[in-house]
Amino acid sequence: MIYKKSPILGLKIIYPKTCFKDSRGTYLETFNKKYYQKFIKKNFIEDDFSLNKKGVFKGIHGDNKTWKLISCVYGKCKAIIVNFDKKSNKFGKWEKFNLSSKNYFQVLIPPSHGNSFLVLSDYAVYHYKQTKYYGGQGKQFTINIKDPYFKIKLSHKKKLIISERDKKLNFIMKKVKVSFLWCGSFQDSVLFSILKSLINVELVNIEKADLLIFGPQSEFSFNRKILNLVKRKTSIEKLFPNIDLFLLKRKFKPIKLFVSYESNVHSSIKYDFSITPSLGIANKNHFRYAHWKDTIDWKSQGYPRSEKNGFPSRFGGFCEIDDLIKPLGKEFINKKREACIITSHLNEPRDSLFLNLEKHIKVNGYGPAFDKKLKDHHNKKFFKKDILKNYAFNLCPENSLYPGYYTEKIPEAFSCNCLPLTWADQNIDIDFNKRSFVNLLDYIQDDLNHIGELLKDDNFLKKFSEEPLCLKAPNLENEIKFISKVVSNL
């Protein structure tokens, strides 16, 4: 008797010790307390057999107390097991197992996991042992196989035979009408993927939204100044609750989520929740989001996104967590000691940083700031990673010195074995290991003359080769908590 663990849910798969086959038939020992107690210290008190015809789907059912040991003793079934433990970081994940009278293996299902099976042969007998007596449907939780939250794929083209009870099950996620204003890029963010994992999103016009996600609209524009003046002089907000968003039709208020990836928090716009990169905001409904996390591929954690939009469309894919938590290595030292800068503009301080650094090492420019045929940073003839991998250094200053404002630039350079030369405020170590990159802010007093010479020194550069960008693996725990908080108010 041997067992192993399944790759997704980590369930125990047991291969029975005794299985004898000859021309007469098969002899199978499905349980032997002496041997099973070594691997499964559970007290099984009930056995159940379910005989069904082809195309029958039963489930998904479970409870929060019972352990089950399942197998298919005749025919062929596809078992679908779902983690329904809301305290688990694997909640909502599922795994399928092909059980049959040819392999006879068993799967141990913990409490708070849904059990289901689809019959693939003409007839099949599904067997399960239980540690609790069956308490009836009223003590079970049930999951609709078609619930979009779980995205379960059966790969079965014919119509399923399902009980009336299971057909009528509600989805676990309520449908929420969502609209966007001035923040289209939020749909490319992993934050939106998290939101979609918690609710069934229906995109609607602004006037119909339950949740309005909106971005910054300049506080210094002419329209905004006039509106602020009108609001101070009149009671227009009582007649039009959404006037701060220039909306006159909507008479009742949706939940408002303000989202900005830039270093600004608007005071003239009212909102219920806010997401910005800013540190130190004294508002319990504000969440500081490290925008660079959108460069990471979170698919393995259940939050897949397209590479055709946002950061990956310009970089040429996502960054991998493994590349950010391992040392930079010495590869960059062996490259030609030149830097690249990829930018759409050379506004200050970028222009001065570029000119001062170029006095010491060659700096090659790419992007709309250097190629006028490119209209903007979304319209490129290249992927950033194809350029970065050829350079020892990447001049990648942030747009401003603002606490918490750290974008994609550093992780993208680092993941290409390219030493980042950034320009960021001193709080950057909240996200990144300060010893893994050069912050030009530390060398600005002599116009980068000192660092310009240090970049030619092998001993200086070797220090960076031993440092990872992130001292621990990035995660989405706080992001999930905050988005869940927003959803709980809908």
Which of the four pLDDT bands, split at 50, 70 and 90, describes residue 83? very high
pLDDT over 90 (residue 116): yes
Q: Rounded to whole angstroms, how far apart are CA atoms 33 and 26?
A: 21
pLDDT of residue 251: 59
Q: Rounded to whole angstroms, how far apart are CA atoms 101 and 125?
A: 9
Bridging pattern class, strands 339-342 and 393-395:
parallel
| Phi and psi, residue 167, nearest 5° | -65, -35
Rg (CA), the chain: 29
Q: Rounded to whole angstroms, how far apart are CA atoms 335 and 392?
A: 5
pLDDT of residue 259: 92
CATH of the structural domain 175-296+479-488, one choice from 1.20.1300, 3.40.50, 2.40.50, 2.60.40 = 3.40.50
pLDDT of residue 372: 82
Bridging pattern class, strands 113-119 and 76-83:
antiparallel
Give 375: exposed, middle or buried? Use CB within 10 Å, 0-12, 13-18, 19+. exposed
Q: Rounded to whole angstroms, how far apart are CA atoms 101 and 84?
A: 28
Q: Rounded to whole angstroms, how far apart are CA atoms 351 and 365?
A: 11
Least confident of 55-69, 149-163, 341-355, 397-411: 149-163
pLDDT of residue 219: 61
DSSP 254: P
Give 427: exposed, middle or buried? Use CB within 10 Å, 0-12, 13-18, 19+. middle
**Angle at which helices 477-488 and 190-198 pack, to 10 degrees?**
50
Helix (H, G, I), strand (E, B) or coil at 141: strand
Instruction: Using alpha carbons, list the distances in angstroms from residue 217 to 230, 263, 453.
Output: 17, 13, 43
Residue 365: which of 354, 373, 356, 357 has the closest Cα? 354
Which of the four pLDDT bands, split at 50, 70 and 90, describes residue 73? very high
Rounded to an integer, what is the distance from CA 173 to the centroid of its chain? 18
pLDDT tens, residue by residue, 172-185: 777 899 999 888 78
Where do the CATH 3.40.50.11660 domains begin and end in the chain? 299-465
- The amino acid that residue 107 corresponds to is V
Per the structure block, which two tokens stand in for 226? 């006039």
DSSP 200: E
Q: How many CB atoms lie within 10 A of CB 408?
A: 21
Which of the four pLDDT bands, split at 50, 70 and 90, describes residue 218? low
C-beta of residue 215 within 8 angstroms of C-beta of residue 265: no
Instruction: Using alpha carbons, list the distances in angstroms from residue 335 to 187, 238, 367, 391, 456.
Output: 38, 64, 22, 6, 12
Mean pLDDT of all residues in 51-76: 95
Helix (H, G, I), strand (E, B) or coil at 17: coil
**Superfamily for domain range 2-167:** Jelly Rolls (2.60.120.10)
pTM greater than the 0.75 cutoff: no
pLDDT over 80 (residue 17): no
Q: Rounded to whole angstroms, how far apart are CA atoms 111 and 456?
A: 61
Range ranked top by mean pLDDT from 160-164, 252-256, 372-376, 432-436: 432-436
pLDDT of residue 11: 95
Where do the CATH 2.60.120.10 domains begin and end in the chain? 2-167
C-beta of residue 259 within 8 angstroms of C-beta of residue 186: yes
Q: Rounded to whole angstroms, how far apart are CA atoms 239 and 243?
A: 9
pLDDT of residue 378: 63
Mean of pLDDT over the chain: 89
| Phi and psi, residue 61, nearest 5° | -125, 155
pLDDT over 60 (residue 232): yes
pLDDT of residue 266: 63
pLDDT of residue 207: 82
C-beta of residue 214 within 8 angstroms of C-beta of residue 183: yes
Q: Say which residue, 75 or 228, is predicted with more confidence.
A: 75
pLDDT tens, residue by residue, 238-288: 777 767 676 766 556 789 999 988 876 666 678 899 999 999 999 999 999
C-beta of residue 314 within 8 angstroms of C-beta of residue 385: no
pLDDT over 80 (residue 415): yes
Q: Rounded to whole angstroms, how far apart are CA atoms 295 and 316?
A: 11
Q: Does domain 299-465 correspond to CATH entry 3.40.50.11660?
A: yes
Q: Say which residue, 348 or 37, is predicted with more confidence.
A: 348
Exposed e or buried b for every residue in 436-469, given b needs 16+ CB within 10 A? bbbbbbebeeeebeebbeebeeeeebeebbebbb
- The amino acid that residue 129 corresponds to is K
Helix (H, G, I), strand (E, B) or coil at 130: strand
Residue 390: which of 369, 362, 368, 370 has the closest Cα? 362
